[in-house]
Structure 1
Amino acid sequence: MEIQTQTKRLSPLSEEQVDQYHKNGYLILKNGCSDDLIDAYNAHIYTIRSADVMEEWAKPRKGKEEVSDQERFSIRLFNPHLHDGFSLQMMKLPIVRGALAQVLGDEACGVQSMYFYKEPGSPGQAAHQDYYYIRNEPNTLTAAWVAMEYINEENGCLWVIPGTHKLGMLPHGAVKNLQEHEAWTDEVEGIDLTQEVPVVLDKGDILIFDSLLIHSSTRNRSERWRRSYVCHYIRHDSTIEREDLKRKISLV
């Protein structure tokens, strides 16, 4: 029996939304994922990380035999789409594929995925541009950030500066506020960070943003988690410099 696959591409964005994306550098797909899908995926990742015997690719720290409970549910799960079918399908959500094609002008490919936990009390990441970490040519790098629960200022939402994707690549240096942000990252320089605005997302909302958009996250000051599934994409004719991200995943 031949199995039929869905290849018709959606066009979920209005012309106004596309224009707003190019003006601001980001947009929100409201209710991009159903609650059922989000609940199923959260439970799936929990099952992977709570297993008595964990696959090597899923371990918080590669090569480490003993895994603490704290590490299981605090350290991000990196590139699960390369090993796990559910994570791969979450990267290939039809609404994301369609929206990316509309803002990029052609089909996109997936190159990276990360499941973030951000438990209560954990710090955020200082203001930066994704292109600083993932160079590609021509630059078409775009993120799709899926809120796995309600996310606001209290539990460490993203903050963005609209329109900064038009400034080009800015210099990055040492993180200034180590009480608020992780020390191992870098922070953009030469920009007024008081211009940042919070991006509040309901469970299932998807934030799509340009790789040059300046964005950050704050410390989780709540008793709630701030789980998210974040994928990075490039247009099919772009190439990645980093060796670990050169594999392109078709979204068809």
Structure 2
Amino acid sequence: MITTKENRLSPIKDEQYKQFERDGYLLIKKGCSSDLIDAFNGHIYDIRNQSEVPAWAACEESKKYSLRLFNPHKHDSFSRQLMKLPIIRGVLAQLMGKEANCVQSMYFYKEPGSPGQAAHQDYYYIKNDPMTMIAAWIAMEENIDIENGCLWVIPGTHKLGLLPHGAVKNLEEHESWTEETEGTDLSKQIPVEMEKGDILFFSELLIHSSNKNRSQNRWRRSYVCHYIREDSFVTQREDLRVKYPLY
């Protein structure tokens, strides 16, 4: 187990660092093992399959296996261990220049037919100072593609600063309770298709989205954690003020 800063992993090369700086995102192939993902998917299922679901994971009975699970890392040791994957810790430290702390986690189910999230920037929802936040998005299915609702990104938009956000326009495609960036040229977005165990790192200002899961029987499960540099702080969200170190 990695316990000190001195033996922290350094997984990415200079060209990958430069790509992240240029595009605002970086895809690491097979960063998490298939066995670990299978165990975690089963673990999350078991949490909500109990006769008495813990309060932090509770939801309507009909949505037990479809409604996303917010901040499992705050309550569940397995979720914290996945949050602390050595490769994630190492990549984030290289991109940020210092150790990272986790402030939010989400487990997405995204069953067939469920909507996606309209184009947005994460900083709009999680203000932090200084601005250092990076998400690590782990693919928890064999294939995450256009049909079952993969992420779409607009390379380089992390350099635009925070853009205005407004009401979601396409409610057939996207959730209604979030907001979307305004004045964005969506013709420039590209899909990020992923395989099981791939990890996508992306900037808090990168414009990204997902579409409806149009598959007949394929889910699009993912585990997403948001990290800030150890000397940064969340400024406007009391529920995300606690920081979780990765070592």
SS in 1 for 2:200: strand
Q: Tell me the equivalent position of 1:166.
A: 159
SS in 2 for 1:126: coil
Q: Which residue, 100, 104, 108 being the options, matches 1:112?
A: 104
- For residues 35-81 of structure 1, the C-alpha deviation after alignment (integer angstroms, 9 at most, x for no partner) is 10000000000100111111111112xxxxxx42x310111111111
Separation (CA, whole Å) in 1 of partners of 2:201 and 2:58: 28
Runs of 4+ in 1 over 6 A off after TM superposition: none
Q: Tell me the equivalent position of 1:25.
A: 24
RMSD (Å), alpha carbons: 0.9
Q: Tell me the equivalent position of 1:232.
A: 226
- For residues 91-123 of structure 1, the C-alpha deviation after alignment (integer angstroms, 9 at most, x for no partner) is 001000000011111111000001000000000
Q: Which ranges of structure 2 fall in alignment gaps of 5 or more residues?
A: none
- Once the two structures are TM-superposed, the CA of residue 186 in structure 1 deviates from its matched residue by 0.4
SS in 2 for 1:113: strand
What residue identity is the alignment partner of 1:238? Answer: S
Q: Tell me the equivalent position of 1:74.
A: 66
Q: After TM superposition, list the pairs within 5 Å mapping 1:1-252 onto structure 2.
A: 6-7=3-4, 8-60=7-59, 67-68=60-61, 70-149=62-141, 150-222=143-215, 223-241=217-235, 242-252=237-247
- Once the two structures are TM-superposed, the CA of residue 87 in structure 1 deviates from its matched residue by 0.2
- Once the two structures are TM-superposed, the CA of residue 197 in structure 1 deviates from its matched residue by 0.2
SS in 1 for 2:169: coil
Q: Tell me the equivalent position of 1:63.
A: none
What residue identity is the alignment partner of 2:146? Answer: E
SS in 2 for 1:194: helix
Separation (CA, whole Å) in 2 of partners of 1:5 and 1:167: 36
Separation (CA, whole Å) in 1 of partners of 2:245 and 2:126: 19
- Percent identical pairs in the alignment equals 65
- Once the two structures are TM-superposed, the CA of residue 5 in structure 1 deviates from its matched residue by 5.8
Q: Which ranges of structure 1 fall in alignment gaps of 5 or more residues?
A: 61-66
TM-score (norm 2): 0.96
- For residues 228-247 of structure 1, the C-alpha deviation after alignment (integer angstroms, 9 at most, x for no partner) is 00000000011102100000
- Once the two structures are TM-superposed, the CA of residue 185 in structure 1 deviates from its matched residue by 0.6
Contact 2:2 2:8 in 1 (8 A): no
What residue identity is the alignment partner of 1:34? Answer: S
- Once the two structures are TM-superposed, the CA of residue 190 in structure 1 deviates from its matched residue by 1.4
Contact 2:2 2:86 in 1 (8 A): no
SS in 2 for 1:114: strand
SS in 2 for 1:37: helix
- Once the two structures are TM-superposed, the CA of residue 6 in structure 1 deviates from its matched residue by 3.3
Matched residue count: 242
- For residues 133-181 of structure 1, the C-alpha deviation after alignment (integer angstroms, 9 at most, x for no partner) is 0000110011000000120000000000000000000000111111100
- For residues 3-34 of structure 1, the C-alpha deviation after alignment (integer angstroms, 9 at most, x for no partner) is x7633210000010000001000011100011
